[in-house]
């Protein structure tokens, strides 16, 4: 009996060490794996577009952005998760690349679709999959080649490939690519509101409030002609993006669903706000609504209008105090601190303070914002920007930065073993200097 327990114990130890070894190997080689995948994708892109500008924004980062590939959309309600415009070294557009992904009964498949400027498919490739190779390889060799040369808007699919599950993912990605390229429904929404819109790009992501994103609307001369402020609303079990679209002269042009399909009930609820369209933002007051859905939409409309008129200083403050209406900023030219901001609400009552600091360590720079209430209690300490190693900084943010919340600024307890000593060292130094500045400059108020 003892020998059986001994054998079992030995097997347990072997299993544990093997698991640790596998985990360690994967952790140590993760960056290399990502780099190899990026190289493989780049080779696929070059097969489709031999004249593509392959210059890297960062020559030392093969997995980083490529100048010849401009990310124009990251659809959320589609199997396609990235849409790129492809350019040569003279900034002439060569076509489009769509990356999509889908799951089936055997795992997943990632698919790349290349299309030229005439909407003709250059190639459809499976860039990654864990489906059965004995099915996938014949599919690639005998059926995916049939896509090349077809027009995306009139593509025909093979009915008997012998790899139904994998081909189902391919077909879904190709169909979704057709929707995005042959007629970008999101672009059409923006063009219906402001006819001059030629393209759009995300210009800001908000940390607080019902508005999550600001989208810049751009004409063919690369001038900004307006902005869309996107929030989200739940309707019949699904989440939809709602856009508050404002022209560059601060007139409300549209309040719409920013999706490929629009449920009639949601569209009807939005029409209740039509009377506010084409009005100057400053003239829109006392927005009325009835029912839960209209109330939720009203909150998005009011927040979008508010976001559209805020200054950069107020925008910064609203990342930490959502009720910020006015600010008083003081530049600081000593030590690690850059500025102090007093934040006030719409009644003129002070909400608190923001102190920003920045320093460098052996891995680059770290920028920190200390948020303090009127009693000198820390609300939050945030790493607002950095170029340190993500593998250290993300666990630091997730596991330790929240420990500052609720501590008095004059008696902060710092964590001693964060696993990101260099980054946390900057955080600690900024918090300590924030206390000194707070006591000297504001403690007497």
Residue-range domain boundaries for the chain: 48-183, 186-309, 314-442
Residue 33 makes CB contacts below 8 A (sequence gap 6+) with: 26
- The answer, yes or no, to whether residue 353 has pLDDT greater than 50, is yes
Using CB atoms within 10 Å of the CB of residue 32, give its burial: 0 to 12 exposed, 13 to 18 middle, 19+ buried. Answer: exposed
pLDDT of amino acid 420: 81
d(CA 274, CA 298): 12
pLDDT category of residue 23 using cuts at 50, 70 and 90: very low
User: Encoding tokens for residue 38?
Assistant: 């990026």
Residues 349-373, mean pLDDT to the nearest whole number:
94
Residues 41-54, mean pLDDT to the nearest whole number:
88
Residues 152-180, mean pLDDT to the nearest whole number:
85
Residues 100-121, mean pLDDT to the nearest whole number:
89
**Share above pLDDT 70 across residues of the chain, in percent, rounded to a whole number:** 90
pLDDT of amino acid 29: 57
Q: Which residues pair with 124 in a beta bridge?
A: 113
- The answer, yes or no, to whether residue 30 has pLDDT greater than 80, is no
- The answer, yes or no, to whether residue 28 has pLDDT greater than 50, is no
pLDDT of amino acid 326: 94
pLDDT of amino acid 388: 87
Find the range with the poorest average confidence among 14-23, 41-50, 242-251, 408-417: 14-23
Find the range with the poorest average confidence among 5-14, 226-235, 317-326: 5-14
Residues 232-247, mean pLDDT to the nearest whole number:
92
- The answer, yes or no, to whether residue 273 has pLDDT greater than 70, is yes
pLDDT of amino acid 199: 85
pLDDT of amino acid 185: 74
pLDDT category of residue 124 using cuts at 50, 70 and 90: very high
pLDDT category of residue 343 using cuts at 50, 70 and 90: very high
Average pLDDT of the chain, as a whole number: 87
Residues 370-390, mean pLDDT to the nearest whole number:
92
pLDDT of amino acid 14: 54
- The answer, yes or no, to whether residue 327 has pLDDT greater than 60, is yes
Find the range with the poorest average confidence among 155-164, 169-178, 367-376: 155-164
Ramachandran sector of residue 300 (left: φ over 0; alpha: ψ -120 to 50; beta: rest): alpha
pLDDT of amino acid 263: 87
pTM of the entire predicted model: 0.59
pLDDT of amino acid 394: 85
Find the range with the poorest average confidence among 151-155, 309-313, 429-433: 151-155
pLDDT digits (tens, 9 = 90+) for 64-92: 788 888 998 888 778 899 999 999 888 88
User: Encoding tokens for residue 424?
Assistant: 């946390």
CATH architecture of 48-183: Alpha-Beta Complex (3.90)
- The answer, yes or no, to whether residue 25 has pLDDT greater than 70, is no
Residues 296-324, mean pLDDT to the nearest whole number:
94
């Amino acid at each position: 009996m003892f020998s059986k327990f001994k054998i079992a114990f030995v097997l347990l130890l072997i299993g544990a060490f093997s698991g640790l070894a596998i985990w360690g190997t994967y952790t140590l080689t993760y960056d290399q794996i990502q780099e190899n995948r990026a190289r493989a994708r780049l080779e696929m892109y070059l097969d489709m577009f031999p004249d593509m500008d392959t210059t890297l924004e960062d020559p030392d980062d093969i997995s980083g952005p490529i100048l010849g590939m401009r990310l124009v959309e990251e659809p959320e309600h589609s199997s396609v998760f990235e849409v790129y415009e492809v350019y040569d070294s003279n900034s002439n557009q060569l076509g489009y690349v769509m990356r999509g992904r889908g799951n089936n009964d055997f795992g997943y498949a990632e698919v790349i679709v290349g299309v030229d400027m005439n909407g003709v498919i250059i190639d459809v490739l499976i860039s990654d999959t864990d489906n059965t190779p004995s099915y996938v390889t014949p599919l690639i060799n005998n059926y995916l080649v049939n896509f090349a040369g077809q027009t995306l808007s009139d593509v025909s699919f093979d009915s008997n490939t012998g790899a139904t599950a994998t081909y189902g993912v391919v077909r879904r990605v190709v169909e979704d690519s057709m929707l995005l390229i042959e007629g970008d429904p999101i672009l059409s929404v923006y063009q219906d509101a402001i006819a001059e819109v030629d393209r759009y790009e995300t210009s800001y992501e908000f940390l607080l409030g019902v508005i999550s994103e600001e989208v810049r609307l751009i004409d063919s001369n690369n001038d900004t002609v307006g902005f869309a402020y996107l929030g989200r609303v739940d309707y019949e079990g699904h989440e939809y993006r709602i856009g508050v679209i404002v022209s560059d002269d601060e007139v409300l042009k549209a309040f719409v669903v920013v999706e490929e399909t629009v449920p009639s009930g949601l569209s009807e609820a939005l029409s209740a706000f039509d009377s506010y369209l084409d009005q100057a933002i400053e003239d829109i007051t006392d927005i009325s609504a009835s029912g839960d859905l209209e109330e939720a939409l009203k909150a998005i409309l009011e927040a979008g209008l508010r976001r559209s008129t805020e200054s950069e200083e107020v925008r910064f403050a609203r990342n930490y105090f959502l009720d910020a209406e006015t600010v008083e900023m003081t530049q600081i030219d000593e030590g690690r601190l850059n500025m102090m901001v007093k934040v006030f609400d719409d009644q003129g009552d002070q909400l608190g303070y923001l102190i920003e600091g920045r320093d460098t360590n052996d891995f680059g720079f770290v920028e920190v914002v200390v948020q303090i209430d009127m009693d000198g209690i820390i609300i939050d300490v945030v790493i607002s920007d950095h170029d340190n190693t993500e593998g250290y900084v993300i666990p630091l943010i997730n596991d330790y930065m929240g420990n500052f919340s609720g501590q008095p600024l004059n008696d902060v307890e710092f964590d001693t073993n964060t696993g990101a000593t260099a980054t946390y060292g900057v955080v600690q130094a900024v918090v300590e200097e924030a206390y000194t500045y707070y006591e000297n400059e504001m403690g007497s108020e």
